Amino acid sequence: MKAKIAVLAGDGIGIEVTAAAVQVLEKVASKYNHEFSFEEGLIGGIAIDTTGTALPDETIAMCEGTQAILLGAVGGYKWDNPSAKVRPEQGLLKIRKHFDLFANLRPVKTYPALAGFTPLRPDLLEGVDMLFIRELTGGIYFGDRGEQGDGDHAFDTENYSVAEVQRVAQVAFTAAQGRRKKVTSVDKANVLATYRLWRKTVTALHDDYADVQLDHILVDAMTMYLMTRPASFDVIVASNMFGDILTDEASVLAGSLGMLPSASINGSSMGLYEPCHGSAPDIAGQGKANPIGSILSAAMLLRYSLNLSYEAEVVERAVDSALDAGARTADIAPRGAGFVSTTELTQTIIDAL
């Protein structure tokens, strides 16, 4: 098949890991006779330096002509001024909103090859295989905010409509039907009105999915259960902010934040694919970044935007086999053991393809 893919590498290690994912996609194209063309665009700090805004109109227009967006990461020390008017993160929030990418899929599983590497007891990690569905275009990230008085007060507003909760919960229930048929909805209904609406809406929608088991868990308890009984979860649906926090926590189960991919979808086949990690300015440009989060995001791109499930699985198996062969970047290498560079791990994965 023919496909046009937008590549927004952004800043820091976004550049290295995105290059790795593009190489993998090129290998998939040549091996399975597809024609992928890549168009690069600016986002984040580099876009601010070049155009004065974190997501220039040209980038949006370019992305509109493609089937999928592969994104790296945004931000870095240079733009690290939270009170600046223009910030790299605005690019990320704006592109998610522009394409109405309301559901962010973040699968988390443990890799047998990395089980001894996490700080948790290996027996707790057996069978960990969960899918977070994070709401991505609403909630406190997009609610009213501002400063009051002489700058001695500030506020952000959590705000959800029934329709916003319904559409993301629908994604969760549907995903669960193709998996272990369990949905855990995370909220803070004991304190916040937004989450009473969240819980009521998810419960009502559950009537349409009688084959799926639904549990509600308060977010504070959820942070604990993720560590004490991670294997018990299947699909987890959470608001924008809770999903952001819980997926970083869950990355511990996979061995490293560098392992986690994500897909942001809007109900059409157009989607945005990015690793869960950030731009990691402390290790940027040194060949230390783990490319697996980005490569697995490319696999999700093949599956969800191009409908190439077989190719997606081949990429995922290649990652498994590279890990089994002991190829590790520093973040997933046992202390004192040797490790390989971003390009070496990428090459091992491409060879395994």
Q: Which positions are catalytic?
A: 141, 188, 220, 244, 248
Show the tokens assigned to 33. 């006779």
Sign of CA dihedral 323, 328, 332, 333: positive
Show the tokens assigned to 197. 């609406």
Q: How far is the CB of 54 from ligand IPM (least distance, A)?
A: 11
Of 26 and 156, nearer to ligand IPM (C-beta) is: 156
Report how far residue 44's alpha carbon sits from residue 148's, in angstroms, rounded to the nearest whole number.
28
Which one of the spans 2-10, 201-209, 242-250, 338-346 is the region binding Mg ion (CB under 5 A)? 242-250
Q: What does R_g of the chain's alpha carbons equal in angstroms?
A: 20
What is the bridge-based pairing of β-strands 235-238 and 68-73?
unpaired
Place of tokens 């994070």: 134
Q: How far is the CB of 265 from ligand IPM (least distance, A)?
A: 15
Which one of the spans 93-101, 215-223, 236-244, 339-347 is the region binding Mg ion (CB under 5 A)? 236-244
Q: Which residues in the 229-248 window bind ligand IPM by CB under 6 A?
A: 244
- Count residues near Mg ion (CB under 5 A): 1
Contacts of 337 (CB under 8 A, 6+ apart): 328
Q: CB under 5 to 8 A by kind: which of ligand IPM, Mg ion, none does 44 bind?
A: none
Place of tokens 């791990």: 345
End-to-end CA gap in the chain: 19
Of 248 and 344, nearer to Mg ion (C-beta) is: 248
Place of tokens 């290649």: 318
User: Looking at 6, 9, 17, 92, which residue binds ligand IPM (CB under 6 A)?
Assistant: 92
Angle CA 191–194–195, to nearest 5: 60
- State the CB neighbour count (10 A cutoff) for residue 228: 9
Q: Does 244 bind Mg ion (CB under 5 A)?
A: yes
Q: Does 11 bind Mg ion (CB under 5 A)?
A: no
Of 56 and 261, nearer to Mg ion (C-beta) is: 261
Of 244 and 316, nearer to ligand IPM (C-beta) is: 244
Report how far residue 129's alpha carbon sits from residue 180's, in angstroms, rounded to the nearest whole number.
10
DSSP string, 155-182: EE-----HHHHHHHHHHHHHHHHTTTSE
User: Looking at 10, 45, 278, 293, which residue binds ligand IPM (CB under 6 A)?
Assistant: 278
Q: Does 89 bind ligand IPM (CB under 6 A)?
A: yes
- Count residues near ligand IPM (CB under 6 A): 5
Of 68 and 352, nearer to ligand IPM (C-beta) is: 68
Q: How far is the CB of 4 from ligand IPM (least distance, A)?
A: 24
Q: Does 284 bind ligand IPM (CB under 6 A)?
A: no
Of 234 and 244, nearer to ligand IPM (C-beta) is: 244
Q: Does 265 bind ligand IPM (CB under 6 A)?
A: no
| Angle subtended by helix axes 240-254 and 219-228, to nearest 10 | 10
Q: How far is the CB of 212 from ligand IPM (least distance, A)?
A: 26
Show the tokens assigned to 116. 């001894």
CB 67 within 8 A of CB 4: yes
Q: How far is the CB of 30 from Mg ion (least distance, A)?
A: 34
Q: How far is the CB of 52 from Mg ion (least distance, A)?
A: 26
> CA nearest 212: which of 238, 234, 231, 195?
234
Name the residues that contact ligand IPM, by CB under 6 A. Answer: 89, 92, 244, 276, 278
By the criterion CB under 5 A, which residues form the site for Mg ion? Answer: 244
